[in-house]
């Protein structure tokens, strides 16, 4: 099983990648290839040309930048999971990346590819939404920043323009007092998220000062449970408060359903995993 014929170009820099894209508007970027190549092998995608961005040094790496952590688009899942900076200052991203697929998949798949592909069952989209991350996007008209909540617009579709490339993602640099957790009910065959819950909690003097909760896998795009979060701010975030907020304020418009898990079941998973993720994040704050 192999892809239909295509032209292969390898970009040495981000600018060269954009120039190649301008010359081959139908081309697809190839980062880790772990979403694109399977689709090309199944002939679900048949791009006439592929632009390999996997070797562009400036697109990869994790660094502190202006109070946030900047992660290059082609940083691999395995690097996210192992990053000391992330484990100390934004542990939820390392935790979620460590739950992706298997070690071989994590050695190839990249952050930028994961969010550009925007599979509803992916692990990283809801984490970025819960973190209120921003995505740096570069195109012929320069750079723009897109909030994660605005980046995912539909099933496998994003706010990325056809002539643009994702260069980096910015996530917060957390000091003490913040706890995070990502919990996943994974599909037993594919390993993708049937439901993934991402929770971020800021505690101050025994009171919840801020929180966010978002889900993968239960809808076409990540679901942000902002009503649950709003109901929890100012509480002591004890188990009873969390359970009550989830049962009265979690609503999921158009839940996804398939032969493995119905929409109703996924919403039930979201309630259980959402509550567990909030409790785990609180305990780590």
Partner 1 sequence: MAHQIRVEVNGEVQEREVEARKLLVHFLRDDLGLTGTNVGCETTLCGACTVWIDGQPVKSCTQLAVQADGTRVTTIEGLADGSKLHPMQEAFWEEHGLQCGFCTPGMILAATALLDTNPNPTEGEIREALKGNICRCTGYHNIVKAVQKAAQGGASNG
Residues in contact with ligand FAD, counted by CB under 6 A, come to a total of 32
107 scored as a contact of partner 1 (CB under 8 A): yes
Q: Is 3 in the site for ligand FAD (CB under 6 A)?
A: no
Q: In the numeric block, which tokens belong to residue 69? A: 């952590």
* 33 touches ligand FAD (CB under 6 A): yes
Q: What is the torsional sign of CA 111, 182, 78, 88? A: positive
Residue 260 contacts which entry, partner 1, ligand FAD, none (Cβ below 5-8 A, type-dependent): none
Could you say whether residue 123 binds ligand FAD (CB under 6 A)?
Answer: yes
d(CA 148, CA 140): 21
Quick check: 151 binds ligand FAD (CB under 6 A)?
Answer: no
Max Cα-Cα span within the chain: 61
Q: Say how far residue 45 (Cα) sits from the centre of its chain.
A: 22
- Residue from 9, 11, 20, 29 that binds ligand FAD (CB under 6 A)? 29
Q: Is 156 in the site for ligand FAD (CB under 6 A)?
A: no
Rule CB under 6 A: which of 205-244 touch ligand FAD?
Answer: none
Q: Does 54 bind partner 1 (CB under 8 A)?
A: yes
Binding mask 169-208 for ligand FAD (x = CB under 6 A): ----------------------xx----------------
The CA angle 187-189-194, to the nearest 5 degrees, is 10
The dihedral sign for the CA sequence 62, 102, 110, 121: negative
Q: Write 14-23 long-range contacts (CB < 8 A, 24+).
A: 14/53, 14/56, 14/58, 14/59, 14/138, 14/165, 14/167, 17/51, 17/53, 17/56, 17/165, 18/138, 18/139, 18/140, 18/163, 18/165, 20/51, 21/51, 21/163, 21/165, 22/140, 22/163
Interface with ligand FAD, residue 129, by CB under 6 A = no
Binding pattern for the stretch 55-84 against ligand FAD, x by CB under 6 A and - elsewhere: ------------------x---x-------
What mask, x for binding partner 1 by CB under 8 A, covers residues 158 to 197?
-------------------------------xxx------
Query: Would strands 7-10 and 49-52 be described as parallel, antiparallel, or unpaired?
Result: parallel
Binding residue for ligand FAD, selected from 11, 21, 28, 86, defined by CB under 6 A: 28
| Alpha-carbon span 208 to 36, nearest angstrom | 41
39 binds partner 1 (CB under 8 A): no
Looking at the Cβ atoms of 152 and 192, the one nearer to partner 1 is 192
- Among residues 11, 6, 9, 8, which one has the least CA distance to residue 138? 11
**Site residues (vs partner 1, CB under 8 A):** 1-8, 10, 30, 33-34, 37-38, 41, 50, 52, 54, 78, 101-105, 107-108, 189-191
């Amino acid at each position: 099983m192999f892809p239909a014929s295509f032209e292969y170009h390898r970009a040495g820099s981000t600018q060269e990648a954009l120039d190649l894209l301008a010359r081959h508007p139908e081309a697809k970027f190839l980062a880790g290839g772990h979403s694109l190549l399977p689709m090309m092998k199944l002939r679900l995608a048949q791009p006439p040309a592929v632009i390999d961005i996997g070797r562009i040094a400036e697109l990869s790496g994790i660094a502190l930048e202006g109070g946030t952590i900047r992660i290059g688009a082609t940083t691999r899942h395995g690097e996210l999971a192992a990053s000391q900076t992330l484990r100390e200052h934004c542990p939820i991203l390392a935790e979620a990346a460590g739950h992706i697929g298997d070690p071989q998949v994590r050695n190839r798949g990249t952050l930028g590819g994961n969010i550009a592909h925007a599979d509803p069952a992916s692990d990283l989209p809801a984490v970025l939404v819960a973190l209120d991350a921003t995505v740096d996007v570069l195109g012929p008209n320069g750079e723009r920043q897109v909030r994660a909540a605005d980046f995912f617009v539909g099933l496998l579709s994003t706010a990325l323009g056809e002539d643009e490339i994702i260069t980096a993602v910015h996530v917060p640099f957390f000091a003490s007092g913040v706890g995070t957790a990502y919990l996943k009910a994974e599909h037993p065959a594919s390993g993708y998220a049937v439901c993934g819950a991402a929770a971020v909690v800021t505690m101050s003097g025994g009171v919840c000062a801020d929180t966010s909760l978002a889900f993968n896998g239960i809808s076409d795009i990540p679901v942000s449970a902002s009503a649950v979060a709003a109901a929890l701010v100012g509480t002591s975030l004890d188990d009873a408060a969390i359970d009550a907020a989830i049962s009265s304020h979690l609503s999921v418009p158009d839940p996804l359903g398939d032969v493995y898990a119905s929409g109703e079941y996924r919403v039930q998973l979201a309630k259980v995993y959402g509550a567990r993720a909030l409790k785990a994040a609180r305990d780590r704050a």
